[in-house]
Each structure stands twice: as C-alpha cells, then as structure tokens.
Amino acid sequence: MTFLKEVYAVAWGDMRFLRHNFLSILIMSIMSPILYLVAFGYGLRTGSTDIGVSYVAFVIPGIVALSSLSSAFSSTSTRMNVQRLYYKSFDEMMMCPLSLSAIVVGKCMLGLVRGLISCGLLYAIGLCLEPGDLVLSPLFILCVVCSCMVFSLLGMSAALLAKSHQSMGTFSSLIILPMTFLCGTFFSVSSLDPVFQGILYCLPLTHASQCIRAAALPEAIPEFPWISLVVLLAFGVAFFLLNHYLLKTRKV
Amino acid sequence: MMDDDIIIISDLVKKFGEKTAINGLNLRVHRGELFGFLGPNGAGKTTTVRCISTLTNFDSGSVFVDGIDLKKNQTAAKNRMGVIQQQISLDKDLTIRENMISHAMYHLIPKKERDAKIKELSDYFGLEEYLDKPVDSLSGGWKKRAAIVCAMLHEPAVLFLDEPTSGLDINARRLLWDVVKSLHAKGTTVFLTTHYIEEAEALCDRVGIINHGKIIALDEPKKLCENVGNVAVEYMVNGKTSYRYFKTDSEAKEFVSGLSDMTNVLIRATNLEDVFVELTGSSVGSQK
C-alpha cells in the first residue's frame, strides 16, 4: 500500500504537468502518427498484404506500436531530463524518503499515460477506417500497456544516462529513429534477410509491433506471438533494473 | 553518542576520480544551533551537504543525523532532514502550491495535515498570494522562500541551506537572513553553507571553516577571531597589503607607530575573513 502511495506521489506532479498542457500534448501525440498513416497507409497504397488484409489495416497496428515508442519515450525522457539537469527538482525527490522502485515506476507514469492517449486516439481512428479487420480486445490493450511501459522505462534510462540535452538528442537519433522505421512497423520483418531479422529481433519495438499487430488482427494472424510478449516484458524488467541501479549507485 | 549533537560526521571521505573532495572530515553540529559552514569555492561545502542529504554516496566514514546512521537507514534519516539546494530546485512547470503539495506527498503527509501545513507556512513566509502562480513569476528571493517552505513541510529536525543567498541582491539577502533567524528562533537546527563572511558573522552560533575537504577551524565566530587576535592592522609593504593581528588595541597601535610608511594603514576589528586568510594563506572565494 505504501508503495502505491509513493508511486502516486512521484507521478502526481507529472500528471499536473500533463493537465496544464493537455491540449498541446494531445495534438503533438497524434500529429506524427496521423502523418505516418496518411503518408505510408494512403500515400504509398501497396494494396493487400501477404496476411490477407489491406495495407492500411496492416500498418495501423504498426503505427500504434511506433506511437507507443515515440510518445512514451519522449514524454518520460524529456521531462526527466529537464527536471534532472535544469530544474534540479529530481534531486529534491531523491532527497525524500521514497523507495527507488516507487521512483522508477512513478516517473514512468507520464510516458505510460501519454502513450496510451496517443495509441488510443490513433487506434480509434483505425477502427473507424478498417472496422472489418481491426479488433479491440483485452489482449490488444495489454500489449499496448506493456509497450508504453517498456518504452517509458527506456526513456527514463536515457534521461538518467544523459549528461546534457544534446546527448538526449544523440540517443534519439541513433537508437529511437532507426527503431521507428525498421522494427516491423511499416513492413513485415519476415520479408527481410535472416541476418537483418536477427538484428531487428534484438530491439524491443520489433516485439511490440508483432504483439500489437497480432492482437489487432486476430483473424489474419491466428497465432499470437507469446514469445515476443515475454521478450518485451524482459526488456521492461531489464530497463527497470538498470534505472534502479543508476539511482541506487547515484550514477546520475 | 551525545544526545545534543544532531549531526555527527566521522572521517568522511569522498573522491571524484583522483580528486579528493572531502578528506577525512570530522564534525559535530549541536541540536538547535545555527551552524555556519564556511569555505572558499571548491573547498567541499556542497559535496558535504550532498553526502549528508544522500544525493551523493560517500566512499568511507560515517554520518549520523538525529541519531540515525545514514548508511543503515537512509529513509528514516531523510525524514529528519530538509534541504534547500544552492540552485533553486522547484519544478518550473508547476505552480508554487503544486510544488509544495508534491513535497508533502513525497513525505506521505495526509491531505488534511498537508493543506493545513502549507497554509501555515505560506502565511508565515508571506507567500499566500503567490501560491497559485507559476514558479518563474517570482523573484529569486521569493523562490528561495518557497523552497524553504517545501523543505519545512515535514517538520525536519535539521534544515540544510546550501549557499541560500548566492545570486540574490542585497535586499533579498537581508530578507532571507530574517527568515533563517526566525527558523532558528523556532528551535530548528540550521546548517548553513556560505562563502559570504558577513553572512556567517551575522547569523551563526558556531562556524566551521573547511578547506581542501577538511575542517581547519571550528568555534564561535567571536572566539575564532580572538584566537587570531581581536585587532587587525592593514598596511602596505612594497605596494602589497599586509596584515598583522594583535590581542589589544594598544599592541596594534604600538606596532603601527613603528611602521616607516604610515599611509594606507588601517586598524580595525578582526573578522572571519582574517581568520580564514591567517589559517589558509588565501582569501575566501579565491580558490577553485
């Protein structure tokens, strides 16, 4: 019970921040996924896919996965980076009697909530565009929640490791941007060379894309990739432990 | 362990790579006193506060805060401390009230108690009209006051103020001195780090002077001056200002009468800066 109270205490300020900036955050969250949808879904129009659904129905879950990455990662990393390096308010929190686990989980709530808003809005549009193929199920929601949480934890790791705002930009350019386009969001990873596939399966977004797509298109993809979900959760645990370690050893 | 010592630091060592920031520091701060921690830039003042406030892990030694061993029970020790950092560390995306609520929530203070405490302390520090304003709409001095309220919400036994008046204009500085005095008058132990000599002289019951990570003098300001000599003589030798210290006025005057060049000679009371110069051979603020 105390743990949950601590998580709430840590997340409270970030939720107030979200409330103060709700409209701009909403617009920013949905803008790039819609642009991707228009550009890749309708602009390129590649007809039907090898799993028997239209390309738009195929690409929407991929863009949902991509949104979970970009929204969750950027919300957590940007706010924490500012709080840690510029406001110094992160230090204030570290001096308070909160458990490190509660700090890690609490600081990821902003990314989780913003990721869910972004993914939810995009998927609502997707359900209107492709009502025949796309499905909203508890498994889909679970996959999106896991994906947002994993990328929010990754955002926290990036913010804790960053020595400056510049190094955050470098991390985004070298890690996040390539993941955005390559990890099975706009195309099937299975269509690539096996060596390249092996590299992409080392990245969490590949597993998030596979899980979210399979949960969104249960008729086209009858076998849910449970291993990918386990791998995605393992990434989450690894990022959680890394954040905990960085805070415990004060390597921040 | 003496019950009237609220902070006990023994053989504290902190290194950053090859550089030793704190070099076997030993210090005891009495309960209820206003303790001044004085030293030049880079002497180890802020690092000491960061070690005590758990922001930085130390390499060896021990720190007890209100009888609690920092290495054994950080959570309990954190509950006994309030810290105001050198740089204003409020969340600028939130209002003053939201910052205060956040701090109270970090200490798991129940809502009713929290609201009453915020009202009481904001009234006391004259912050009530600023509560719902963004942080950046306040001047530096008022932001410091808000930071003090945040640090006081959980009623800490000891309050750390790390260079609280750094960067403030003289009026804001004097206002903050009044705040510090009033906290002390209420019985709060205050640990004040500063490199402003006049601040330490005006406020502190006792002063510890730190240099190269070690305490080099520790006593009441008046006694530290007495040890050097109550009367200082400033005079010029070959275009350079020199200093001599004497126990009495008559000794100082006798020394001055023997000087070949009587121009630019000043006889005055010894201050803490003189103590520092005498002990270290350099002036406060000159080191890095």
pLDDT in tens, B25-84: 999 999 999 999 988 888 899 999 999 999 999 999 999 999 999 999 999 999 999 999
Q: What percent of chain A has pLDDT over 70?
A: 97
Q: What percent of chain A has pLDDT over 90?
A: 67
**B78/A97 CB distance under 8 A:** yes
CB B89 within 8 A of CB B147: yes
More confident residue, A102 or B179: A102
- The answer to whether A89 faces chain B, any CB pair under 8 Å, is yes
Q: Is the pLDDT of residue B3 over 70?
A: no
Residues 6+ apart with CB under 8 A from B33: B189, B190, B205, B206
Q: In what order do the strands lie in the sheet with B240-246?
A: B240-246, B231-237, B266-269
Q: Is the pTM of this model over 0.90?
A: no
Of A10, A94, A99, Cβ closest to residue B55: A94
**pLDDT grade for A47, boundaries at 50, 70 and 90:** low
Could you give the CA distance from residue A90 to residue A126 in angstroms, rounded to a whole number?
38
CB A95 within 8 A of CB B55: yes
- The answer to whether B55 faces chain A, any CB pair under 8 Å, is yes
Could you give the CA distance from residue A219 to residue A134 in angstroms, rounded to a whole number?
9
Q: Is the pLDDT of residue B285 over 90?
A: no
**A91/B85 CB distance under 8 A:** yes
User: What pLDDT was estimated at residue A41?
Assistant: 77
CB B108 within 8 A of CB A5: yes
Of B53, B57, B94, Cβ closest to residue A16: B94
Question: A-contacting residues of B 131-150, CB under 8 Å?
Answer: 150
What average pLDDT score do residues A85-108 get? 94
Alpha-carbon distances of B253 from B24, B246, B248, rounded to whole Å: 41, 9, 9
User: What pLDDT was estimated at residue B282?
Assistant: 59
Could you give the CA distance from residue B155 to residue B107 in angstroms, rounded to a whole number?
10
Chain B residue numbers touching A83 (CB-CB < 8 A): 91
User: What pLDDT was estimated at residue B287?
Assistant: 45
**pLDDT grade for A18, boundaries at 50, 70 and 90:** very high
State yes or no: ipTM above 0.90: no
Q: What percent of chain B has pLDDT over 70?
A: 96
Residues 6+ apart with CB under 8 A from B79: A97, B107, B154, B156
Q: Which of A87, A98, A110 to mutate to test the interface with B (most CBs of B within 10 A)?
A: A87
User: What pLDDT was estimated at residue A251?
Assistant: 55
Helix (H), strand (E) counts: chain A: 11, 0
What average pLDDT score do residues B196-211 get? 89
- The answer to whether B170 faces chain A, any CB pair under 8 Å, is no
- The answer to whether A94 faces chain B, any CB pair under 8 Å, is yes
**B94/A17 CB distance under 8 A:** yes
Q: How far is A3 from chain B (nearest CA, A)?
A: 11
What average pLDDT score do residues A4-22 get? 95
Chain A residue numbers touching B107 (CB-CB < 8 A): 96-97
Closest-approach residue (CA) in chain B for A88: B89
Q: Is the pLDDT of residue A38 over 60?
A: yes
Q: Which phi and psi (to 5°) does residue B70 adopt?
A: -60, -35
What are B148's two structure tokens?
A: 């003090």
**pLDDT grade for A155, boundaries at 50, 70 and 90:** very high
Crossing angle (nearest 10°) for helices B140-152 and B170-185:
20
What are B150's two structure tokens?
A: 């945040």
Q: What percent of chain B has pLDDT over 90?
A: 59
Q: Is the pLDDT of residue A46 over 90?
A: no
- The answer to whether A16 faces chain B, any CB pair under 8 Å, is yes
What are B211's two structure tokens?
A: 């240099």
- The answer to whether A245 faces chain B, any CB pair under 8 Å, is no
Chain A residue numbers touching B57 (CB-CB < 8 A): 249-250
**A91/B105 CB distance under 8 A:** no
Residues 6+ apart with CB under 8 A from B3: B31, B67
User: What pLDDT was estimated at residue B283?
Assistant: 54
What average pLDDT score do residues B133-140 get? 92
Of A88, A96, A250, Cβ closest to residue B89: A88
Could you give the CA distance from residue A156 to residue A151 in angstroms, rounded to a whole number?
9
Neighbours of A134 (CB within 10 A): 22
What average pLDDT score do residues A185-211 get? 92
User: What is the full DSSP assignment across B49-78?
Assistant: HHHHTTSS--SEEEEEETTEETTT-HHHHH
Coil, helix or strand at residue B17: coil
Q: What is the pLDDT of residues B214-273, one digit of tens each?
A: 999 999 999 999 998 999 999 888 888 888 999 999 999 999 888 877 778 999 999 888
Q: Which of B80, B85, B105 to mutate to test the interface with A (most CBs of A within 10 A)?
A: B105
> How far from the centroid of its chain's Cα atoms is residue B120's Cα?
25
Query: Count of CB contacts below 8 A, A vs B?
Result: 77
**B108/A2 CB distance under 8 A:** yes
Of A82, A96, A249, Cβ closest to residue B106: A96
What one-letter code names the amino acid at B149? V
Chain B residue numbers touching A250 (CB-CB < 8 A): 55-57
**A250/B55 CB distance under 8 A:** yes
Coil, helix or strand at residue B88: coil
- The answer to whether B76 faces chain A, any CB pair under 8 Å, is yes
Of A89, A95, A99, Cβ closest to residue B91: A89
- The answer to whether A20 faces chain B, any CB pair under 8 Å, is yes
Segments making up each domain of chain A, as ranges: 2-248
Could you give the CA distance from residue B218 to residue B277 in angstroms, rounded to a whole number?
15
Cite the beta strand spans of B17-147 per DSSP E: 19-30, 34-38, 60-65, 68-69, 81-84
What average pLDDT score do residues B148-160 get? 92
- The answer to whether A95 faces chain B, any CB pair under 8 Å, is yes
User: What pLDDT was estimated at residue B40?
Assistant: 81
Q: Is the pLDDT of residue A203 over 60?
A: yes
User: What is the full DSSP assignment across B152-205?
Assistant: HTT--SEEEEESTTTT--HHHHHHHHHHHHHHHHTT-EEEEEES-HHHHHHH-S
